Structure 1
């Protein structure tokens, strides 16, 4: 596997210029993604950046490093991939379909980490080609956090790989737990702390340029906002969370968290959950959480 080391990520403007230039690519069929890995060899967890992220997503200081925060460290690597010849398709129009995170050890501000993103397998979908990006974060040579980002490139004919199947098969009844606000500026606020300044999230004007009637919330913000209500008010040592994104959350909006703690899972505490619209009759995402503290 080819390894590309990135000591200093590109400026966001450069990353998005690369993504825009990728629009000249055509969404054709391929047999496999190029085997390539992008690496940030030394990233130190910054307490101020963690606090800013936590504030936007609803986490408390007592949560420590949020389960979802390390994915922000992989974002520059994903953008480098999308803007390169290693990605066969345009970045714009690629849909985030699902996301899975596993935390193996507690993370702390000040930790020095190695952050890696590598290309993964292809999966067939009725609307196009699914592909995985695999994330891995290590501390002192030991894997402490990993994730799979599952993306859909719409419009690819004759996609390859096994057929996509949901990883969330349980049909346990959920009950309404809480409501939360997704204000009009949450896309801009989350974009500033995450680096994801995709125009579809920033304003109604910029979103309309890409075919959306309004700006839509980042799926990873919606995921994090739900977890901020489900996670205990203390750091966790191990955790797993899988979500599948269902429908856009148009901004501004009120959303509702539905869940049950009766779900089974690999760790001590488990929950099945959905973020739905305010009426509770349309899901924006569905997920399963499992965690344990000391």
Structure 2
């Protein structure tokens, strides 16, 4: 396993330029991803950054540091991988199929974290090649948070690995819980906070340039927005959430939250305003 230590992050613009430049990659059959771990050895949880992230996603101050906040600290490491020669496919056009996160211990403002992101496994899919990335956060050597990103490279003709199986097959009926509005500019606002400035999220014009009829909301924003409505109204010590992304949420849009709740969590979906088309499906426990 090659370890790459990153003490100073490139800018979001340079990371995205690197992703654009990767379009020239033309790999043959990929048997496995190279074993590589990117590390940010010292990331201090900044209260101002937390507040900005919480505001754009709908969390309140009582939530503390939202459990998906570490994803933002790991995301630039994934972008560095995608723009490097180590990653076999072009970065543009990757589809985020699913994302899971587990909070092992409460994270607080001022904590010093070690953020790691490593390459994972290949999984075969009918539309191409799935690959996984694994991220984690450590505080004083103890694991406090971990996450798995499930991504799809469309069009791969000979995908490797076991066949993809959904982790969310519970067919329990859900009931309408709430509605929310995803404004036309939410992609720009979330991108400014998260560093994810993929053009498909920023405006209708830039999205059309890449083949989309409108800008689409970040999947991780939609996930966080749902959690802001589902999580207890105070900070939690432990939690776990898994989602699978279904259909794009085109901006602007009204969306609806559907769920069945229990004492320690919920099965949920974010759907369109009519409630007949899912944008994501998930399960959260706390």
Give TM-score, length-normalised by structure 2: 0.99
Alignment partner of 2:267 out of 269, 272, 276 = 272
Contact kept, 8 Å, 1:27 with 1:90, in 2: the verdict is no
TM superposition shift of 1:79: 0.6
Corresponding position: 1:83 with 2:51 = no
Q: CA deviation at 1:278?
A: 0.1
Q: How far 1:15 moved relative to its partner?
A: 0.5
1:9: which partner in 2? 9
In structure 1, C-alpha distance between the alignment counterparts of 2:98 and 2:139, rounded to whole Å: 26
Give the match for residue 281 of structure 1: 276
Pairs within 5 Å for 1:250-265:
250-262=250-262
The structural deviation recorded for 1:176 is 0.2
Q: Do the aligned residues in 2 keep the contact of 1:27 with 1:155 (CA within 8 Å)?
A: no
1:27 is displaced (CA, Å) by 5.4
Deviations 1:110-152 (A, max 9, x none): 0000000000000000000000000011000000000000000
Q: Which runs of 5 or more residues in structure 2 are unaligned? A: none
Q: Which residue of 2 aligns with 1:127?
A: 127
Residues 1-294 of structure 1 mapped to structure 2, 5 A cutoff: 1-26=1-26, 28-262=28-262, 269-291=264-286
Alignment partners' CA distance in 2, 1:133 and 1:205:
30
CA contact (8 A) 1:19 1:82 kept: yes
**Residue 249 of structure 1: CA displacement?**
0.1
CA contact (8 A) 1:94 1:151 kept: yes
Q: CA deviation at 1:157?
A: 0.8
Q: Distance in 1 between matches of 2:87 and 2:206?
A: 25
Distance in 2 (alpha carbons) for counterparts of 1:27 and 1:66: 38
Q: Deviations over 1:187-242 (max 9, x none)?
A: 00000000000000000000001000000000000000000000011101000000
Q: Closer, same or farther in 2 for the Cα pair 1:252/1:28, shift >3 Å?
A: farther
- Report the alpha carbon displacement of residue 161 of structure 1 after superposing the two structures with TM: 0.4
State the distance in 1 between where 2:107 and 2:16 align: 30
Deviation at 1:261, TM superposition (A): 1.2
The residue that corresponds to 1:265 in the other structure is none
- Matched positions, count: 286
Give the distance between the partners of 2:41 and 2:26, measured in 1 at CA.
32
Name the CA distance, whole Å, in 2 between partners of 1:117 and 1:62.
29
Instruction: Point out where structure 1 has 5 or more consecutive residues left out of the alignment.
Output: 263-267
What whole-Å deviation, never above 9, does each CA across 1:76-121 have from its counterpart, x for those lacking one? 1011000001110000000000000000000000000000000000
Q: Deviations over 1:18-52 (max 9, x none)?
A: 10110001254211000000000000000000000
Work out the CA distance in 2 between the residues paired with 1:211 and 1:244.
23
**What is the root-mean-square deviation of aligned Cα atoms in Å?**
0.8
Give the structure-1-normalised TM-score.
0.96
